[in-house]
Each structure stands twice: as C-alpha cells, then as structure tokens.
Copies of this chain bind each other. A is one copy, B any other.
Amino acid sequence: MANEFYNHITKFSDLSALDFRGVMAYFEPISLEKKGMLQIEGSVSPQKYFVVSGCLHMFFTDDQGVEKTVFFAMENWWIGDHLNFYKDSPSGFGIQAVETSEVLGISVANMNALLKEFPIMERYFRRVYEVGYGAALMRMKYIYDHSKEEIFIQFRKQFPEFVQRVPQYLLASFLGLTPEYLSKIRGKELS
C-alpha cells in the first residue's frame, strides 16, 4: 500500500526512502468495502485521505434529503474537507467508497507533526493543492461553458474510465444533472 504513496510524493518532492518510513508513521491505513462510509457528514475532526486504490466521493445532503456529490477521488488523489480540517469544526461533507478502496488517513495533529518533522513535505502538499485548486477552477469553466447535455458528452470524452467506473446516479449528481436527465441523454444516443 505504501509504494503508490511514495511514488506520488517523489513526483513532486525529494523524499528519501528512509524518511518515507518516518512519514508513513503519521498515517493510518484504512480498507473500505464498496459503499463503506469513511466519514459521516457533520463529523468533528475530519481527516484527509490519500487514495491508494479504488474510488470515493465526497457529498452533502441537501434540504430535500438528496445526496449531492461535489468531488470524486481515484488512485493518487487526496480527498477531504480542506476548509474545516484545521478548524477542528464539523465537516460539511461525508465521504463514501464508490468501489472497494484502500486509503491512508491523517488527522490534523498528525499533519502538523508530520510537517514539522519533515518540512520537505510542504512542497509535496503545495503541489497537490495547487493542482487540485487549478482543476477546481477549470471545472467551473467547464460547467459554465457547456449546456447540460454537452457537459456529460464532453466529460465522457475526457474521462472515459471515470464514466465507466462511477455509477450513473453519482455522476449525474457530480455534473449537476438529474439522473432522469442523464438517462434521457443516453437514451437519445442509443435511439
């Protein structure tokens, strides 16, 4: 489980294999069944998670009781509520496995201790958040630039593996479409 994480770190930051053993001591490996809940909405002390394998989604429940997905993470992505992590206040998001998944979790106390002991990891996290932030802004462009039908078609073209792996109702939620609408688009294509 550790290998994938080490490879990801060394893409961005020079961390020795020896130091990596020290880094790993701050993480908790967690295995999840498909649909297993990693974090419930409103849980205090939310953690951040590195996805070693599988796929998870981050969601909230709206006033009508409908779960809405704001984020997906597959292998080599981080998932977590970055705003509430340091505040130690309840997270506004739940996190659930979409497939059988392996993740590495870290608490705020461990994150602070990790960065103190291994300041070289600042660079790694700087790049992780920079890419994630850039992608989030690009996603806004995506949503504003296309009609709802185009959003799905473009998205499938760009991320075919993603569309194959993720159930349709979650994908619809992520793209801001109703599942009925997505079925209609797909039906139209088949006819």
| Interface residues, chain A, with chain B CB atoms under 8 Å away | 58, 60, 62-63, 68, 70-71, 81-85, 92-93, 115, 119, 122-123, 125-126, 129-141, 143-145, 176
Contacts and interface: CB of A to CB of B under 8 A. Distances in A.
B136 A93 contact: no
A82 B130 contact: yes
Contact of A122 (B83, B126, B133, B145): B126
Copies of this chain, whole number:
2
A145 to B, nearest CB: 5
30 contacts: A58-B137, A60-B141, A60-B145, A68-B141, A68-B145, A70-B137, A70-B140, A71-B137, A71-B140, A81-B134, A82-B130, A82-B131, A82-B137, A83-B131, A83-B134, A83-B137, A84-B134, A93-B137, A115-B123, A119-B122, A119-B123, A122-B122, A122-B123, A125-B126, A129-B129, A129-B133, A136-B136, A136-B137, A143-B176, A144-B176
Chain A: interface secondary structure? Answer: helix
A125 B131 CA distance: 12
Nearest to A92: B141
Given A60-B141, A81-B137, A122-B122, 15 more contacts: A60-B144, A62-B144, A68-B145, A70-B140, A70-B141, A70-B144, A82-B130, A82-B133, A83-B131, A83-B134, A83-B137, A84-B134, A115-B123, A129-B130, A144-B176
